[in-house]
Amino acid sequence: MKTEDETVQIGTEGCTGLITLNRPEALNALTRPMVLRIGEALTAWEYDPAVRQVLIRGAGERGLCAGGDIRAIHADAKAGTTASLAFWRDEYRLNARIARYPKPYVALMDGIVMGGGVGLSAHGGVRIVTERSRVAMPETGIGFVPDVGGTYLLSRAPGELGTHLALTGTAVGAGDAILCGLADRYLPSDWLDEFTRELAGGPVAEVLEKFHGATPPAAPLAAEREWIDHCYAADTVEEIHRRLLASGLPAAREASQTLHAKSPTSLKVTLAALRRARGLDSLERVLEQEYRVSSAALSAPDLVEGIRAQVIDKDRRPRWSPAALVQVRAATVERFFAPLGDGAELTFP
């Protein structure tokens, strides 16, 4: 087993601080020690005049980060313990810090970037995707709700694209990631090593000018905006389902089938979280809301069952409780947003 220092490699090359997530065998899934180590590096570099910018990347060929270590979260939820709360508290604070970091924070979003991987990258100032990028917030498929500031990002995507991605958990490529505001630059994957070497010698803005010739792939969702915006503008998940089926479009029907496989409770809580996030004025306020939601999800039955079905037993046959949207009461949804009490909330200055 790797030590804490080995799971996140910290170093500098020239004027750039380098963070390398180093659990390729687990698709660089995040643990609390990894989160804390990243935070320590950001603190050291913030006050180091020799470091002009920071770059985060993932070891291996498969991706930056597939998210939090959900096996550990499953064990925690199944045992009725609360170690995950400490992990989320530290992770969400790191997400906010990345968004406010005073030096350029460059994220190489190559390969799989999901859940917590989005939190480590999409709040950065320079977010680079490649032809291999697959970016997603797939939480509704494991009985959870998009977090790490995901409801902030997706609630601010054009039209209802973010609602579509949050509810279905659909993974998008480089073009759609840029369209939805999850990334902003495209580089072919075989340029990344040279790009990283160039960063050692100069500021990222100047380096990007040397790599400006790459044209991003198409954004397929751009052509789907009409039905997505109409269907997902509905006030309830049930009405979204109805509109998707009534549209008669194969893509909409496929989206409806995708929703049918997700946790009914997670779908309703996710829609409520997105709508509320639109009315909150900062990432920090949204993260505070997400912490309440995640805390409630930890003790709800669908999180344990969803991870069991998708990751532990891999039978892909979750038994959601309740099993149908109509059975999820409004009071159940509201419970996810209830105050946690003195000393239990995540708060930012």
- The residues that are catalytic are 68, 116, 139, 147
d(CA 7, CA 1): 10
3-state secondary structure of 55: strand
CB of 283 within 8 A of CB of 123? yes
Give me the phi and psi of 156, to 5 degrees please.
Answer: -110, 10
Strand partners, 58: 21
CB of 101 within 8 A of CB of 64? no
Token pair, residue 150, equals: 């995901």
Give me the phi and psi of 127, to 5 degrees please.
Answer: -120, 110
* Close Cβ partners of 327 (under 8 Å, ≥ 6 residues apart): 264
Strand 16-21 to strand 53-58: parallel, antiparallel, or no bridges (unpaired)?
Answer: parallel
Q: Which parts of the chain are beta strand (E)?
A: 8-13, 16-21, 53-58, 63-65, 105-109, 112-114, 126-129, 134-136, 185-186
CB of 124 within 8 A of CB of 181? no
CB count in 10 Å sphere of residue 223: 10
Query: For the chain, what's the residue count?
Result: 349
